[in-house]
Amino acid sequence: MSLMRRLIDELPAQLRWAAAAEVPELALATEGLVLGMGGSGFAGDVAAVFAEAQGVRVAVHKGYGLPGWAAAGHIAVVAVSHSGNTEETLSGVEAAHTAGLAVAATATGGVLAQRASEWSLPYLAVPPGAQPRAAAGYLAGATLRLLESAGVVTGTVAALTEAADVAEALLAGDAPAVAGEVAASLRGRIGIIYGSGPLTAAAAGRWKAQLNENGKVPAWWSVLPELDHNEIVGWAALPAIGSDAVGVVFLHDGGEDARTHRRAQLTAELMAPVHVAGTVASRGAGPLARLFSLVVVGDLVSVAVAEQAGIDPVPVAVIERLKKALAE
């Protein structure tokens, strides 16, 4: 079993750590803005899904600086960087601090921890060790707890606990077998992940990123119903690619719109001969548990894809080379 496969098994413990974490007090706000990139940025995607289920807006900014509207809003800004050294996120923290916005941070250390200390920003340290993509429970959980401290969302402890229970049951149950079947169906193919609403869109983005980083394969994701207005037509002229070179995985959630669910069924039929590599449905009651149930399977698929190709899922050498080149 690879290191990354063992790290996936740590997800329930990470979520429980977040549920029990001692969280600093934040100034109250009506909405949130999460700054983060890559594996750290997924914490913002999770927070946005959780907040939407409560009728609240949490936006996610994956880039330099701040979105133009941020300075005018009554928002809680949460900066997430596993290393604490992500340059895009740090630029956003500096811009938010200069604008006088309420900023909180979560990281394992690095420059972000230093800025939090220097500027007296609320800070929640997450345990070090894992790579950002293998610390989703820590980072998403910490982000949710900070947003709750700001009054943006509620009920995070119970939600994190349920998500941990569901993830644990899946890992001990049929999730590895389901993931193995999907990975086998994706062998030698570009993975395309189709979501069916906001929750599965976040999960699809996670699947895509994990296939990239763990599986070392190209992948993309789209979401229904939007893809029925464009992407569904894009297979017409290149049927051989659809049948031989790609594999589509449909993600479903019990809370999705009935018409969207029907669209997914019809889309799979009308895309033929595009290869459908599998269909995965969420489990659990609350939105956080349902989202992480899909994350568990996707993470396992990405590692299985790497292992069946004889590739170590942990190293991301090209990203390290890019960071080095940017620093020169």
| Cα dihedral across residues 327, 133, 59, 158: positive or negative | negative
The amino acid present at 164, given as its one-letter code, is A
Q: What are the pLDDT tens digits along the chain (328 aa)?
A: 688 889 999 999 999 999 999 999 999 999 999 999 999 999 999 999 999 999 999 999 999 999 999 987 789 999 999 999 999 999 999 999 999 999 999 999 999 999 999 999 999 999 998 789 999 999 999 999 999 999 999 999 999 999 999 999 999 999 999 999 999 999 999 999 999 999 999 999 999 999 999 999 999 999 999 999 999 999 888 889 889 999 999 999 998 999 999 999 999 999 989 999 999 999 999 999 999 999 999 999 999 999 999 998 887 777 778 777 877 7
Give the right CATH number for 173-308 from 2.40.10.120, 3.30.930.10, 3.40.50.10490, 1.10.10.10: 3.40.50.10490
Q: 213 an active-site residue?
A: yes
102-107 β-sheet, strand order: 58-61, 31-35, 75-81, 102-107, 123-125
Decide: helix, strand or coil at residue 252.
strand
- Report d(CA 313, CA 2) in Å as an integer: 8
Topology adopted by domain 3-162? Rossmann fold (3.40.50)
Q: Among the options 74, 226, 320, 323, which is catalytic?
A: 323
C-beta separation of 125 from 113 below 8 A: yes
Same fold, 3-162 and 173-308: yes
Which DSSP category does 197 fall into?
S
Q: Among the options 229, 269, 324, 328, which is catalytic?
A: 229
Q: 208 an active-site residue?
A: no
This prediction's pTM: 0.95
Bond before 24 cis per omega within 30 degrees: no
Domain ranges of the chain: 3-162, 173-308
Residue-level pLDDT at 237: 87
Residue-level pLDDT at 117: 97
C-alpha distances in Å from residue 153, one per residue of 165, 257, 264: 21, 23, 31
Decide: helix, strand or coil at residue 153.
coil
Phi, psi of 31 (to 5 degrees): -150, 170
Q: Among the options 10, 162, 213, 256, which is catalytic?
A: 213
C-beta separation of 183 from 298 below 8 A: no
Q: 252 an active-site residue?
A: no
User: Which residue is listed with tokens 């609403």?
Assistant: 197
